Amino acid sequence: MADWSNISQVGIGDIGGATIPDQLLYPGLSQMIVEYAMPAQIFRQLYIHYPSMGRQSVTIPKEDTPYGTSATVPVVGSRVGEGDELPLNILPLTSSTVTTYKIGEGYQVTREMILFQQVPIIQQRLKRLGITLGNTIDYDCAATVDAASLADTTAVAGKTKGLDNTVAVEAGTLGQYDLVDAKVRMMNNNLFADTAVLSPRSAGHIQKLPQYKAFMNTGKADGYAHGEIGQIEGLRALVSRHTGAGATVNTVSPAISYVMTGTVTTAPNPLGQYTPMGYFVEALPIQTMVQENNRRDSYEVYALTMFAPVVVVSNCIERLSGISVD
């Protein structure tokens, strides 16, 4: 069998066989798969990256009590009389142990694909491999967010105040009040929302509201890129079809959207609380492998990665439900 790993140009070789372009082999092959995997990961970017440093499992500390909602975690100091003992406040911390797992998939490239110049088909298979891996990572990240936020679910009211100060209600839609009220519920816990993750359906609801069409409100003239639609009510707005992801693979719900905080390192945190929403624990970044299969007169391209998403502070997520899917 020919040493395909050394083929570097498109064309016809000395023996009449076609050759493969650089971008379909190392290092271009690996770069192509990774590049197509990244744009699919909308929920992945909400987690703080946490390299496992050669360990399959890591233990992450987390606060055991929501901020400012328990008498056992005072948010102000105590007054102390002359000669009295100073009180000792021990912050209740627990931990979460996360074990990374491996996902992977491969495609076969046959001799016929190379001989008969089926380069676009080969490229499409590799693109699909990257997209498949990216979708799997993002789905798992979305499912972790949804499972952690079930206790903080509020049905949308569809209420919006127009530019003429008239309040309108459209049942089953995501309205201005739904976003603002979710932010207020977070502020009651001394948390400040920074991101909204919208289903495609709820993003459509928002985009139909007149106040979010104005540049003075959105902050951008053109924010439609990489799943981001700009700024809405001070929130970075992202769109993902993986909202409402369940434990069963590819089970999603366009009726669900989220308002979140602690998702980016630049999140507003004026009170200094420990507020990362969660971590993306990564043991192995996306890797690619090429293996010859003499029995099938082909070679196989594989991509794999090892990771585990974990939400450590569920109060950082407000889950909005009841969005119409018609």
User: Across the chain, what does the average pLDDT equal?
Assistant: 77
Alpha-helix runs per DSSP H in 171-311 = 176-187, 200-207, 215-218
**CATH class for the domain made up of 7-65+92-321:** alpha beta
Q: Report the range of poorest mean pLDDT among 85-99, 133-147, 293-307.
A: 85-99
Is there a contact between 178 and 160 (Cβ–Cβ < 8 Å)? no
What is the reported pLDDT for 267?
A: 47
- Which residues, in sequence order, are CB contacts of 14 under 8 Å at separation 6+? none
Amino acid 28: pLDDT: 55
If one compares 97 and 16, the residue with the highest pLDDT of the two is 97
- In this predicted structure, the answer to whether residue 282 has a pLDDT above a threshold of 90 is yes
User: Would the CA dihedral through 146, 149, 155, 161 be positive or negative?
Assistant: negative
pLDDT bin (cut points 50, 70, 90) of residue 186 is: confident
Q: Count how many Cα atoms sit within 13 Å of the Cα of residue 227 in the half-sphere of its side chain.
A: 21
What number is the average pLDDT over the span 190-209? 85
Q: Which of 208-212, 259-263, 274-278, 283-287 has the highest mean pLDDT?
A: 283-287
Answer whether residue 311 shows pLDDT above 50: yes
Q: What is the predicted pLDDT for the residue at 246? A: 75
pLDDT for 220-257, tens place per residue?
554 444 445 677 888 888 888 888 887 666 677 778 88
Q: According to the model, what pLDDT value does residue 193 have?
A: 86
The answer, yes or no, to whether residue 119 has pLDDT greater than 80, is no
Most confident option among 27-31, 101-105, 291-295? 101-105
pLDDT for the residue numbered 18: 46
Domain ranges of the chain: 7-65+92-321
Q: What is the pLDDT of residues 64-92, one digit of tens each?
A: 665 544 444 546 677 899 999 988 877 67
pLDDT digits (tens, 9 = 90+) for 15-62: 444 445 554 554 556 677 777 787 778 899 889 899 998 899 999 887
Q: How far is CA 297 from CA 2, 3, 113, 115, in A?
A: 10, 12, 11, 12
Residue 212 — φ and ψ, nearest 5°?
Answer: -95, 5
Quick one: pLDDT band at residue 143, thresholds 50, 70, 90?
A: very high
CA gap 278, 262 in Å, rounded: 8
What average pLDDT does the segment 181-193 reach? 84
Determine whether 199 is exposed, middle or buried from the number of CB atoms within 10 Å of its CB (0-12, 13-18, 19+).
buried
pLDDT 10s digits, 152-168: 888 999 998 877 788 88
Q: Which tokens belong to 171? A: 């049942």
What is the model's pLDDT at position 72? 46
Cα(108)–Cα(144) distance, rounded to whole angstroms? 32
pLDDT, position 71 = 44
The proportion of the chain whose per-residue pLDDT surpasses 70, expressed as a percent, equals 74
Packing angle of the helix pair 28-37, 119-148 (nearest 10 deg): 40
Is the pLDDT at 216 greater than 70? The verdict is: no
Q: Above 80 in pLDDT, residue 181?
A: yes
pLDDT in the model for residue 65: 61
Statement: residue 176 has pLDDT above 50: yes
| Tokens linked to 55 | 């360990």
